[in-house]
Amino acid sequence: MEQIRYTQRICDDQEKIDRFLAEKRVGTLSMCDQKGKPYALPVNYVYWNGKIYIHGMGSGKKNDVLAANPVVCFTVFEEFGTVADPVPAKCDTAYFSVVIFGEAVLVQDLEEKTLALKQFLEKFLPGFFKAPLSKSFVDHYRSGLDHKAAAVYCISPENLTAKENPIDAEHMFLTDERQTSE
């Protein structure tokens, strides 16, 4: 795996990386089909037990591409704004990003699948459902769109890199609108 060349931006604080991945809601799943054509799409995800879990319908382009080639790149980022500098070439962006390389493996184990889907419910709908998600429900649920079981994929990071350019409050560029609203 190619290493980050801009070493000043590397973040190796595992707690910070774990917290970032646990808090963010959307990442970009990048894949390559059998013909070598790239395919990337934003997906909701959970970061659980050091792994990325995604889910969706049991059919569709994502499923077809992953069945043919499970090698993926998963990216999560947050942009905080523009860092201003009197020298145009030194203007920059404040951000935090994580890039994960691995394989998206279809979760077959009903216990793991149910626990992963419970993580989704806790993250995206905390406290909404009164009854816990059961293995029986997960096993028997079918989408009205394709009548297949929901697909849950697990991405175990084979390589993970994180980069950051922290907010420099003194040099952040604020538009007139943002300056007057504060």
Contact present, 161 and 11 (Cβ < 8 Å): no
Provide the domain count of the chain: 1
In a domain, 26, yes or no: yes
Least confident window among 32-36, 77-81, 91-95, 126-130:
91-95
Question: So what's the pLDDT on residue 6?
Answer: 67
CATH of the domain at 119: 2.30.110.10
Q: Answer whether residue 26 shows pLDDT above 70.
A: yes
In a domain, 1, yes or no: no
Q: Show the domain range for 12.
A: 7-181
CA atoms within 13 A on the CB side of 160: 16
pLDDT digits (tens, 9 = 90+) for 82-139: 887 778 887 888 889 999 999 999 999 999 999 999 999 999 999 999 888 988 888 8
In a domain, 144, yes or no: yes
In a domain, 155, yes or no: yes
Contact present, 162 and 96 (Cβ < 8 Å): yes
Q: Answer whether residue 176 shows pLDDT above 80.
A: no
